[in-house]
Every structure is written in C-alpha cells, then in structure tokens.
Structure 1
Amino acid sequence: MADMMSECMDSESTSAFSPADPSIDSLFFSKHNLSVETYQIFKNDVDVLLSGKAALAEQPMFIQKIIRTCHEMLATYEDEKAYLMSDVLCTWAMRQQKVSIGTLWTQQLHYNQLETIHQEFEYFGEVLQHTISGLEYLIQFFPAQGFEDMHAKFKQMAHYFLYYSIIVARQPPSVIVKCGEAENHRRSRFWFNTEIRVLGGRAFGLETTGSGIEVQCYLITDETAKQLLNNAYFEIFESEEFSIEPPTANFHVKEHRGLKAKFDDMRISKKVQLRRESVATKRYCLCYNIRLKTSCGIDLVGKKVSLPFAVLVGPKSDVEAKLFLERSFADLVRQPLSEIPGHVSALEMADQLEMKFQAIVETPQKSTDGPAIIQPRMFTSQAKEHIIKRLKPSPQGYIAIDNFMKLPVAEEFQQKKTNTTEGDWKLVPFFDWFFKLAETVNKYLYHMWFDGLIYGFCGKEEAEQLLRSVPRSVLLVRFSDIEQGKVKISVKNSLGEMRHHWYEHSDLNARPLSKELLSNPKFSDIELIYPDIDLEVALGGRQKPRRNLPKHLQPNDIYFDNQGAATSAF
C-alpha cells in the first residue's frame, strides 16, 4: 500500500507548477516558485517515508522534519494566496467597478485579463491540493503524529481560497432604465449579461463536480445587501417592486477555461405600477446563491453580491450621474455600499468621463438593436484637459465632486409652459452639459464622431487659434461650452475671415450635419475639415447647383423683388 501511495505522489509531482506563460506577472512567478520549492522538499521527504526507504529508527526524525516543512509551507502558501487575493484579484475587481460604466468593448478588454488570473489561480490550486493529498496519505499511515493539525490548517486555507475564487465576473450596468417601448412590456429597455466564474478549482475537481449545478439569482435591495455583510446566511427576500429574468443559470465548462454560470439576456420586470420618484433613490443588487462541493469534500456555500445599481421607471440624468460617481470613485469592492469621496483626482476623473462619454455614444438607439463590441474613439489629451478645466480643479490636481453635480457651466433657454414665446435662461450643471453632448453625438453625429470629423471639446478662442494654423480654408466642428447641447461650426474662409455658426439638436434631427456642411452656402468655399481632412472626400462630395427651369407664365423680375421662402433648411 505504501508503494502505491508513493507512486501516486510521484504522478502528482509531474504536474508543471512553475508558470511558463510570459503573461504571468513576475512577482507571482517568484512567489509561486518559493511555494513549489518548499512543496518539493515536503514531497521528497514524504516519498522517503511512504516508500519504506527510511529505517524505523529514522522515521520520527523524518516526521518532525515534515512537520517543520509544513509550517514553512503554510507561511509561503499564505503569502502567495494573499498576493493572489489582494494584489491580483482585488485590484482586478476594483478596476472592473470603474470600467463597468464604460462600453462593452472596454469591459471585455478588462474581462480578458481573467484568463491570466485564472491560470495563476490554477497553479496555486494545484500545489495546495497536492499538499493536502500528501497529508491525507501521511495521516493514513502515521496517525496521531501531528499531521491532522497540519491537514486542517491547509484545508481551511483551501476553503478560503476556493470560496473567494468565485467571483461576479460580469457586473450589471449602473443604471437599468425602463422606458419607451419597454413600458408596454413591463421590462427594462436593454438586456444585459452577468456571469459567475470560478477561478482555478480544477485541481480540486470543481470543473467535474460543479458542472451542471444551478445558481439562483435574486434581485435584492441595498438594505438586504447590508444585512448579508453581517450575516452570510441571512434569508433572502426578493424585491417587492421588481423581479429578475432569468432567475437561474447552470455552471458549465467550455474549452477548459474554468467553471462559469452565465446569466444572458437579463431584464428587470415590474411587479406593480410604480412612480418614477418612488424608486429613483433606491439601490438594488443581484445576489447569487452558490452551492458547490470539491472532490475532497470542501463545501462552498454562500452568496455573491453584485455592485449596486439603480432601476429607473424613466430617464433621470441626475440619478445616472450619481451612479456614475458611485461606480467611478466609491470603494465598493473593499467597502461595499460605501460613500462617494468628496474630492477625486483630476486625472482619474478625466479617464472616467472618457469611458462614460464613450458608453453613452455607443448606446443602441432601439431596444431591438444588439449592442456592438467595437473599439470606441478615445479622447485626446487636449480634450481631457479642456473638460477638466471646466470642473475647476484645485492647484493640487483634485476636483470637488460637488462641482460635477452642481457647478453651472452652460445655459439653456426654457420656454414657459403657458407661453410659447416667453421663457427664462436656466443654468446647466456640468453633468447635464456633458451627458447632453454625448447623447447628441449618439443620436445625430455618431458616424462623423467615429470617423474623427468632429473635433469636439474646444472653446471659441482655441478654435480660432487652431484654424489660423491651417493655410487653406477650413472648418472645425466643436461642442458649445456655453449653450446647452449646441454644436458649433468654426470656419476660416478663403479670405482668412473667422465665423462661428451654431446648430440646435433639432436642426440636426431635420438634416444630418454631413449633408448640411456640403449644401449650406456658408461652407461652399471650405476645403478642409480640421486639421487636414478633405471635406468633399470625407462627406461624399457637394451637390451640384440646381438649374432653374423656365416657368410657363413668365412673370417679370419685379414680381419677385419683395418675396422669399418662409422657411429654410435651418
């Protein structure tokens, strides 16, 4: 029997523990090698003991040596485990929170990093499982020698490691809106996907024992989520206002890339009629009920909770802005349901605003349109600098969160409900100005923005300075800093004269800007779109002037002296 156990240990030791993939980070490589080296000492001594090569008188010495090696392994394994959990997985999860407000392309790029992390978890899981297996052999042949205590400690480590290796790999969006066509169907406007994933776990048989196991998903309030932080066994009750579809998914393994439970095409459904204000201030989470068991008898039972999100009965930009700040700057990974800090780094704010702008621009126009995973257009450093200046950063490079929500940066004329000609100018805070521009690009300027024909964030003086640097007639399409939602066309004609023309979003709805730039006489002598893009080549060529056909009645010229069209293209 001892020979058979020794052979089994030999077969286990042939597994390649040391990472060979260049994507594995060097710090993990060094920590894992220390674990493997310590394990190899343990294994060699166990081989001698189990194979009968050690004389009876030498066995107590080998047993004590193995016990000492076990203590060393506990320290080195704990160091590697802590690195994987804190430095690798926690860092990934914190970044996941931030990119969750971005496009699907940005989120997918970050999600792909899990392949490397999964591999690192597999390496550690293998050496940990082999250690536990070796201790089980020792307990069988050398009971009551101290191996039971070591076995319990390593098994406890494995339980912690495996349970926290189960993660919410894909998070729900920060805001789920129920509006438009969806109101008739009582479901959220756009579907979304979430995923539970087990990192590593193959050495413990989870890919075999877990395949086909069902995972239940509940929609809970943030109050219930707080209860779960204090009591993991707290009984879950579903939200009274909403339910989640689908409520279950099953774990599966595909292409040896880990155990995953995919909740595809998720939607939120209303249970009762709701007022917009009644739910706007509430936060919800998805709670996944996990029940897995390893091949060595470790039960992995518990609940995994998603990042908080809002469910809106209709669009509400201030709530969306608040959720943007929560996902971008609150420490929700290390301190779930924590508050937003009062000040944030200007550089970090610029990066988050870029991702949010991209996400709004890439939002499908209709609920029937599938979201496309394409690389979004990035902000230039000039655009980021221009945006951040509008938020009035401190000399130390920090931005007050209140500036994002409250600082007025533009104006908008609002007509009185009782009078179509009178109204008042309303100050527009930064978030409203910024979101409105992204929506305008999404609805009216998407292709021009994606093709780089819109310069974007730029003031009047800066635009004139840029145009002067171009020797030919040129125009620059930019967003208005002062007037809410307007697009400005800054022009330098062939004589070097500067002019600025503006368009309302209603104008852009009437005719695409690309056609307007080609057909409007104000731009007829313009050759380039800044900096050096041929206007006609980029937009498809100007229309030739129409030849006026002779009228049958032929009135004289004086007849038309005081007449003109009541409407124009704009």
Structure 2
Amino acid sequence: MSLWIQAQQLQGEALHQMQALYGQHFPIEVRHYLAQWIESQPWDSVELDNPAEETKAKRLLDNLVGELQKKAQVQGGEDGFLLKIKLGHYATTLKSTYDRCPLELVRCIKQILQSEQRLVQEATNVSCGNGLQAMDSLSQRHQQINQAFEELRLATQETENELRKLQHSQEYFIIQYQENLRIQAQLSSLSSLPAAERSQRETPLQSKRATVEAWLTREASTLQKYRLDLAEQHQKTLALLRKQQTLILDEELIQWKRRQQLAGNGGQHEGGLDILQSWCEKLADLIWQNRQQIRRCEHLTQQLPLPGPMEELLRKLNADITDVISALVTSTFIIEKQPPQVLKTQTKFAATVRLLVGGKLNVHMSPPQVKAAIVSEQQAKALVKNESTNSESSGEILNNNCVMEYHQATGTLSAHFRNMSLKRIKRSDRRGAESVTEEKFTILFESQFSVGGNELGFHVKTMSLPVVVIVHGSQDNNATATVLWDNAFAEPGRVPFVVPDKVKWPQICEALDMKYKAEMHTTRGLTEENLVFLAQKAFTSSSNNPEDYHNMTVSWAQFNRENLPGRSFTFWQWFDGVVELMKKHLKPHWNDGAILGFVNKQQAQDMLMSKPNGTFLLRFSDSEIGGITIAWVAENPNKQGERLVWNLLPYTTKDFSIRSLADRISDLNHLVYLYPDRPKDEVFAKYYTPPLSKAVDGYVKPEIKQVVPEFTSPNPEPSGVASTFMDQGVLPPAGHSSSFTIYHPVGDNILDTDAEFELDYPMDVARHVEELLRRPAVNQWSSQQ
C-alpha cells in the first residue's frame, strides 16, 4: 500500500496535521495526482547542503513539471477540463517558484514525505495498541495549543476593538474640550460689551459651559475607566501569551531538541520543526499585535494626560511584552542541522542555523549574517551565565560566516554552512585520567539584527551539541563513546557539559540498542539475551537472570576508560568493534537472523553439543575487537567416538574484504546446519559469489577458497587454497610440513587466539595464492588423514 493511500486514511488531529503540510509551496493536488511518481523518486539521494547536487535537484524539478503537464494533457470531459487548467497552472507555478532554487523543492518534498511517514506510523501504532497513550497525549497537547491560540486571537481582537472605542471616545472628548475652550473665549470677549447686552449673551453661554464641563468631568472618569479596563485586559492577554510561549518553547521546542540530541545516537528525529515554526510565528504575530496596541495606548495617554496610574501601568506592560518577544526571538534561533559531534581537524563539515520567527518579523528584509566559532566547555559555561566572553575562541574555523537566506516557498529563514573546516584546536589542561577524546567543545553561532524598522535590536546566540575534536581516525572510537554518553544521559538545562558519572544498566541498554539499530539500519535490535551477554561482559558476571542487573550501575570508567579484565580494550571499544564489523560486512546476515553473535564459548558449546555433527553458529569473539568466529560440533579426528566443539580463529573486517562470510561458509563442507537446524545453503546461498568465468586469452583464473585442514575432504578440488587458522587441532605427523598454523588447546578444548592473518589486499593475496598453487603441501597433508 502506497504511503499516500495510508495518509488519506488518517483521521482527526493526524489528518489535520497532514493537510497542514501542503499549501502554495506544494499543493496537495500535486501530491494526489502524482502520488506514485513522487514516492518512486530518489529524493533521499540528494544532499541538500551540497551545491553540486543542484543539477540533480533541477532534473527532479523538470521531471515533476513534465509529469504534471502530461497528467494535465490526458484529462477530458467537463470535470477534466477544470482539472487540466488547474494542473497546468500548478506546473507553471512550481517551475517559476523553484527554478532558481531546485534544492528547496527537494527539501520541501522530503519533509512532506517524512512527516507523512511519521503520522502514518503513529496512527498504525495506535491501531495496533502500541503507543496509544503517547498518541493521545500528543493530540491533547496539540489541541491544547490550538485552543490557546484561538483564545489569544479572540482576546487580541477584543482589545483591538476596545482600543478603537477608546480612541474614538478620546477624540470626541478632545473635540468637546476644544468646544469648552471656545465658550470660555467667548465669555471673555463679552467684557467689552455694554452691561445689558453682556448679561443677555452671557447667561446662555455660561449655561452651555456648565453643561460641557459637567460632560467633560463625567467623560474623563469614563475614559480613565476605559484605559484601566484595557490595561487589565492586556495584562490577562500577556499572561496567556506567556503561558503559551512556555508551553511551546520550554516543552515542545525542548522536546524537539532532545529528540535531535538522541538522533546523534541513532534515535528517531523526523520533522516536527515546521509545526513548531508555525506555532512560533503565530506567537510572534500575536505578541507583536499586542505590543503595538500597548504602544498606541501609551500614545493616547500622552495625547490626553489624565490623573491616575495609567502611565506607569502602560510602561510596565510595554517592558513586559518586549521581554516576551525578546525571549521568543532568542529562543527560536536554533540549529536545524547539527555539526558532526566527532569533528576531525582539516575535514569539511556542515551545519544549518534557522530563525523560526524570521519570516514573520521580516528579518529577511535586511538579511543578517551568522558567525560560527568553536569554544571550550569552560567558555560555554560562561556563555550560559552571561559572563563576559571576549576571550578568543578555542580554535580556527574556515568559512565560518554565512548570510541567512529566506526561502519564499517554505517560509524559512536559515543559514547553511556548507564548507566549514576546523583548521586548528586549542586544548585546555586535562583533569586526571581524562584523555583528549573526553574533552568537549561546542560550535557557537551568533548573529545580530533588528525588527520593526530598527525598533528592537537583538544579539542572538545558540550552541551546538557537544563536539569532540580528533586529529586522527584512530581516535574516532573513543570520541564516539564520549558523544554517546553525553547524548544519552545529559539532563535538560544542565550546566555545559555536565553528565552523570554513573547510570543504571537499563539506561545503558537503551543507548546501546538505539545505536546498534541505527548503525545497522534495522528494526532488529538487541534482544534480552543479547543484553544479558553484554551485562556479563560489563560486570564480569555469570548470571543469566536479567533482573540481577536492573539496579546495577555502570560508571564512565567501566564503559570506556578501564580495560575489561584480561583484555587490552574497554567495554565500549569491544561493542563498537562489533557494530563496525556488522555494519560493513554482515548486516544482511544479522537481519536474516543468521548471526547469534552475543554468545560466549561455554554457551556455544552447551548449545551445539546437543545438535548433530556439522551444526554451527556464529558468535562474536571475546578476545578480539571486531571479530566473529564460527563454532561447530564434529567428531574428534584423534579420538574415535568423541565429539568436540571447534572454534575458528575470528574473522575481522580485513578477512571479509578478501572473501565474504557466505563464501567462506560455502567453502567449508563440514558446516552443514546453521543452529538450530537450518541447512546452510537455505540461509546463505543467495549471498554466494557466482563461479568465475572460464579461461580468457589462455589464462586460468585462480580462485581463493579456504579450508580447515583437519576437516578437508580426502580428494579436494585442485584449486588455489588460502588456508585459515583454527584454535583446536592436532599436530601433523613427523616429517610432514603444513601450510596452516595449528594452535594447541590450553586448559579446555575451546580457545581463541590473538594471532592475526594479515594480507595486504590485493597484491599479497595474489602472491599467496600463486605460492600455494605451486606448493601442494596442503593437499598432501589432507590426503594422508
């Protein structure tokens, strides 16, 4: 079922949110009539921050316009005529809107599709009974916000109407006041007249003056009451505005930032910013309207001063509402796309900064410039405390200035830093056992601009998530650990960049599972059994009960500062090695359920000994970072009737760059069933490499295959052989050489070794194969078993 068909089945608030995605920037009719075509296009393949991708985006725009024109041409009938005109109009409009900025079309459609996918997924979760409470809570919050906006709109309209009435009343009062002055002037002019005439004309004027003065007295009291009532209404509206702003900025925006932070660990972070921007723009509009009303009240008060506290009241209201608009502007200067949190010097990186209320406040009329700088943790703390930060930055960033651009189609004001590079970094003195990969920095973005015709000026700042600066790829692993710990366990509103030193094991599990699923691009995460295995490794425990670990804590030192007992690596380094190996070479096999992985030797032995000979499983090496081994059950060739579990020396990324896992398993005929009882070809055949083609130009192509000499068939095929290592075997008979290495058992019969099979692909492989082809030692040894 297409995404659009599912989106049309949304109901209630979800349907309203879906409809709100569309408008003049991208009509919903275009989405409807080109649904299948739109969903089949490679929008995700376009890098929005790469100007070189504009050609690809332009091609997508042209194709979209072409599809619309074709759809318009095939319309017939009376209804079709109107649709033909409408679709043709949309084609022309989209062409003119995005022709100069085709990347914005791609950005727009990607956001729409992502938002639709999120809404459909949320609705699906609700219908399946999952996340029902969360969905209800989300709908209630959105409904609450929308209702509050309606209340604010009505309140603002009411104060506008009252303000107009006050203005009209005051203008009439001034007219009557001028009339009273005119009567007084007439009375004064009567003094030069004869007494009889003066008395005759004076009496009606005095009567009229008394009437006007009485009216002025009453009306002055009424005006004062109007003013006080209006000020009281503005105070109520201001309280509602503050409440709404708190809900949006201190809850919704903070939650968005938290999701963005968790996205650094692989969490879901799809859209939501456009809805936030629409709310912030509504807030800005309402706040600005109320501020203008208050200023008009001040003007009326200055025109006609009356006794009372109005001037002071209005002055306070103006100051308060100016604080509210200032808080809104400074809080909505955000980082839409974070810079990489592991930042390598001399390497290009990108970031995007966005002002959510920029379009509404017309900031783009005089586009502000944004500057980026890298600052240390101490400097970040000073910034949060509003202390002086005139000291120089902690490094030098190239291409760190960018002008904010307004995109008419999407209504966004943003600065896209596409080609920044950290030229150098200045490190501080480290504390205790802290390494350079534990030192945190942040990218500070700053800008200055004014709104309302230079009426209000703003100096806005925002800091990126913590970044760890490295100078070599070998530091990436430890730097990633620092970032993961910070993203997962940082508390909202913390002092930069304080994190707890210890956290509960379930929190670690959640972070590891999130990272694993994200790196593997899979929904098949870590099972409870996997997490128990990891707990045993982290705590050097043998308990298989998950409950035993729920209240245990893991310190940062245990996570990635202290080596595991008897090993030369930390818990995180081992886990990250597994993730890298799986991500690069074994992702399909994990998704197929072919790799158990998180199983120790003893568990593997217990599982396999109850199975037929030739049953095997794949588990991660305990002794080597990024290693995976094959364990299988078979007869002991040195002792008839005895069955043993054997373990190959772990494979690493280097091995799989020479020959894939599936091909290696295919080579080993003694591997028959993948645990528990699946024929190996049923699981791995679809990944086998097709056979090499026949000889070309008289040359025979060699073929790399692996054998385990102890388990080689009596008549092996005469092909090139690249032997592998195993950690269980017997010595060859005296007088016979071997092209493989035998490792004697130590203690028990299942032992990994730290030896490594090193080949510099492809030259060493070719030489090795050539040497083996000339030297049939393996075949001789195998044939004598």
TM over 0.5: yes
8 Å Cα contact 2:513/2:525 also seen in 1: yes
Matched residue type, 2:336: A
Match of 1:327 among 487, 508, 518: 487
Structure 2 residue runs without a partner (length 5+) = 1-14, 19-118, 120-137, 174-218, 540-547, 636-640, 693-714, 720-733, 742-755, 758-785
Q: 2:368 and 2:471 mapped to 1: Cα distance?
A: 34
Match of 1:458 among 599, 607, 632: 599
Deviates more, 1:303-312 or 1:67-76: 303-312
Corresponding position: 1:256 with 2:410: yes
Q: 1:469 and 1:147 mapped to 2: Cα distance?
A: 86
Change (3 A) 1:547 1:401: closer
Partner of 1:503: 650
Match of 1:480 among 588, 600, 621: 621
Quote the offset at 1:130 in angstroms. 2.2
Partner of 2:448: 291
Using the size of structure 2 for normalisation, the TM-score is: 0.55
8 Å Cα contact 1:343/1:398 also seen in 2: yes
Paired residue total: 494
Partner of 2:231: 67
Change (3 A) 1:510 1:70: same
Structure of greater Rg: 2
Aligned ranges for residues 294-305 of structure 1 at < 5 Å?
294-295=451-452, 297-305=455-463
Aligned ranges for residues 409-558 of structure 1 at < 5 Å?
409=564, 411=566, 426-449=567-590, 453-460=594-601, 462-463=603-604, 475-491=616-632, 499-505=646-652, 506-523=654-671, 525-526=672-673, 534-540=682-688, 548=718
Quote the offset at 1:519 in angstroms. 1.1
Partner of 2:254: 90
SS in 1 for 2:373: strand
Aligned ranges for residues 42-441 of structure 1 at < 5 Å?
42-50=156-164, 57=219, 58-102=222-266, 106=267, 109-110=268-269, 112-143=271-302, 145=310, 146-178=313-345, 187-188=346-347, 191-206=348-363, 208-209=364-365, 212-231=367-386, 234-239=389-394, 242-254=395-407, 255-270=409-424, 280=437, 282-295=439-452, 297-314=455-472, 315-316=474-475, 317-331=477-491, 334-357=493-516, 361=519, 378-392=525-539, 394-396=549-551, 398-405=553-560, 409=564, 411=566, 426-441=567-582
Partner of 2:21: none
Matched residue type, 2:271: N
Q: Percent same amino acid at aligned positions?
A: 17
Quote the offset at 1:431 in angstroms. 1.7
Matched residue type, 1:160: A
8 Å Cα contact 1:479/1:487 also seen in 2: yes
Partner of 2:73: none
Higher relative contact order (CA 8 A, sep 6+): 1
Match of 1:21 among 2, 17, 20: 17
Matched residue type, 2:244: E
SS in 2 for 1:445: helix
Q: 2:677 and 2:238 mapped to 1: Cα distance?
A: 63
Change (3 A) 1:456 1:528: closer
8 Å Cα contact 2:343/2:470 also seen in 1: yes
Q: Higher helix proportion, which one?
A: 2
SS in 2 for 1:511: coil
Change (3 A) 1:235 1:134: same
Change (3 A) 1:443 1:49: closer
Q: 1:567 and 1:467 mapped to 2: Cα distance?
A: 26
Change (3 A) 1:252 1:81: same
Quote the offset at 1:247 in angstroms. 1.0
SS in 1 for 2:335: strand
SS in 2 for 1:243: strand
SS in 2 for 1:521: coil
Q: 2:322 and 2:463 mapped to 1: Cα distance?
A: 25
8 Å Cα contact 1:409/1:482 also seen in 2: no
SS in 1 for 2:418: strand
Quote the offset at 1:516 in angstroms. 0.4
Partner of 1:15: none
Matched residue type, 1:428: F
Using the size of structure 1 for normalisation, the TM-score is: 0.73
Matched residue type, 1:400: S
SS in 1 for 2:673: coil
Q: Deviations over 1:319-344 (max 9, x none)?
A: 5433432333233x512323331321
Deviates more, 1:503-512 or 1:246-255: 503-512
Change (3 A) 1:44 1:223: closer
Q: 2:605 and 2:158 mapped to 1: Cα distance?
A: 76
**Aligned CA-pair RMSD:** 4.2
Quote the offset at 1:539 in angstroms. 2.0
Q: 2:296 and 2:489 mapped to 1: Cα distance?
A: 50
SS in 2 for 1:379: coil
Q: Higher strand proportion, which one?
A: 1
Q: 2:425 and 2:236 mapped to 1: Cα distance?
A: 57
Q: Deviations over 1:449-478 (max 9, x none)?
A: 466543332334555677799999754322
Change (3 A) 1:390 1:243: same
